[in-house]
Homo-oligomer: A and B are copies of this chain.
Amino acid sequence: MNLKAERGAATRDKVLAIATRLFAERGYDDTSIETVLQESGLSRGALYHHYAGKEALFEAVLEATESAVGVKIVQAIRGIKDPAAALRTGVLAWIRLAGDPVVKRIVLIDAPSVLGWERWRALEERYSFGMLKAALGATGAVPAEHLDLHAHMLLAAVNESALLVARGGDHSHAEAAVEEFLRRLLRED
């Protein structure tokens, strides 16, 4: 189980990379399996052998993207002791990452409607949301009974500003606004 498995994995990776690019460029709806097939030189049968369908392919793309983003955010806050500082740093890192058109389109725009809100939420729980909730909880600035909801609202707020930045807003101005927003939420100053 070596040569075959490796070939399969290589094919999956190739399709994943191409699909990621296409989904990011054109969005889910306007990306046809046909195009993925053409650009990868693969046959229908091969693709459907590795992925159950278009939606499953998108889910794999989403998962890979979220995972990559998660790793970068962890790197950004590594070594920061003060919980509030870690939260602020992580949030700003996330905003910069979400500026990437790939992240923007796949994670923030298409994911909820393609997977359905429920499944999207479950996936977010394992990535951005999970991290943010932990970081927010560590600051102790929010009453425990509201932690979950506040984390959700904060993430949504941060995602929105990330989209605004990606749309072409003033980067540093947006970051300043987010920092102010955070200060108010944590009742700092």
Q: Which residues of A contact B (CB under 8 A)?
A: 27-29, 109-110, 112-114, 116-118, 121, 143, 145-146, 149-150, 152-161, 163-164, 167, 169, 173-174, 176-178, 180-181, 184-185, 187
Contacts and interface: CB of A to CB of B under 8 A. Distances in A.
A28 B116 CA distance: 11
Decide if the interface of chain A is mainly helix, strand, loop or mixed. Answer: helix
A159 B161 contact: no
Contacts of A149: 161, 164, 169, 173-174, 177-178, 181
Q: Which 8 A-B pairs have the closest CB atoms?
A: A156-B160, A153-B157, A149-B177, A113-B113, A156-B156, A146-B177, A157-B157, A110-B113
Contacts of A167: 117-118, 121
Contacts of A143: 180
Given A145-B173, A156-B159, A184-B184, 10 more contacts: A27-B116, A29-B29, A109-B113, A118-B167, A143-B180, A149-B177, A152-B164, A153-B161, A156-B157, A185-B185
A143 B163 CA distance: 21
22 contacts: A28-B113, A29-B29, A109-B113, A109-B117, A117-B167, A121-B167, A143-B180, A146-B180, A146-B181, A149-B161, A149-B164, A149-B169, A149-B177, A150-B177, A150-B181, A152-B160, A152-B161, A153-B160, A153-B161, A156-B159, A184-B184, A185-B185
Contacts of A174: 149
A160 B155 contact: yes
Contacts of A153: 157-158, 160-161, 177-178, 181
Nearest to A160: B156
A27 to B, nearest CB: 7
Contacts of A114: 29, 113
